[in-house]
Amino acid sequence: MAIEKTLKKWKQYHRISDVGPISRRYFVMNAFDGALTMLGVVIGAYVAGILEPMPIISAAVAGSIAMGTSGMSGAYMTEKAERTKKLKELEKAMLTDLKNGLHHKSHKFATIFAALVDGISPALAAMLVVSPFFMVNPGIITVETAFFACIGLTLVVLSLLGVYLAKISDESMIRYGVQMLLVGCVTAFLCVLTSILLRGNIA
């Protein structure tokens, strides 16, 4: 009963604070960033001749933690400032102190919820993209297979994000999916080109 009551309360806070749209934007933008960032790391490592999985996994885990922490703290501070401003404007309009009231609790919930979405989405997307490399050491797949699987997973993640955006906007899923795929392909091409040029200059 306590869990059901808490969930009902959170649902009410979610509705009052209208945190849904901003959370969706945070989710898509940061999952997009997380996936493409890790794709760049993997491509750079592969072109540089790093064929051991552990350096790639270490970079991916460190990058995921950094993106998650940065996203969570940045979103929390930003949302807190915006929500505090809105609450003060509402207090002035109503000529009353809303501290510890329903609106105050709703805005506090929205701040934490948005921060969690902002921090978790890039970390999850990044770890999903590099997950094939966890299967290299046990001998399940080769590094080369993990590399191409990483590219494939990135394109799948981008396609799913495109489909999600299409559902939100009630637009063509194919068009949004293709647009996301094109961005992924261009990013992969630029990463390969940059890595090759840098490797040539350093050599």
Reported as a single tens digit per residue, the pLDDT across 43-98 is 888 887 877 888 888 888 888 888 888 888 888 898 888 888 877 877 777 766 66
Total-model pTM: 0.80
Q: How far apart are CA 180 and CA 20, in angstroms?
A: 22
For residue 171, being part of any structural domain is answered with yes
The whole-number pLDDT of residue 151 equals 87
For residue 32, being part of any structural domain is answered with yes
Q: What is the mean pLDDT of the chain?
A: 83
Q: How far apart are CA 127 and CA 154, in angstroms?
A: 11
For residue 7, being part of any structural domain is answered with no
* Cα distances (Å, whole numbers) of residue 119 to 17, 34, 61, 107, 155: 20, 10, 14, 18, 21
pLDDT band for position 169 (cuts 50, 70, 90): confident
For residue 166, being part of any structural domain is answered with yes
Q: Which residue has the higher pLDDT, 116 or 184?
A: 116
Residues with Cβ within 8 Å of 164's Cβ and at least 6 positions away in sequence, in order, are 28
For residue 200, being part of any structural domain is answered with no
Domain that holds residue 142: 20-192
For residue 26, being part of any structural domain is answered with yes
The whole-number pLDDT of residue 187 equals 81
Average pLDDT on 163-191 reads 83
For residue 152, being part of any structural domain is answered with yes
For residue 178, pLDDT over 60 is answered with yes
pLDDT band for position 202 (cuts 50, 70, 90): low
Q: How far apart are CA 13 and CA 70, in angstroms?
A: 25
CA dihedral 29, 193, 159, 18 (to 10 degrees): 0
pLDDT single digits (tens) 16-45? 878 888 888 888 888 988 888 888 888 888
pLDDT single digits (tens) 121-163? 988 999 999 999 999 888 899 888 998 898 889 888 888 888 8
pLDDT band for position 195 (cuts 50, 70, 90): confident
For residue 25, being part of any structural domain is answered with yes
What is the total count of domains within the chain? 1
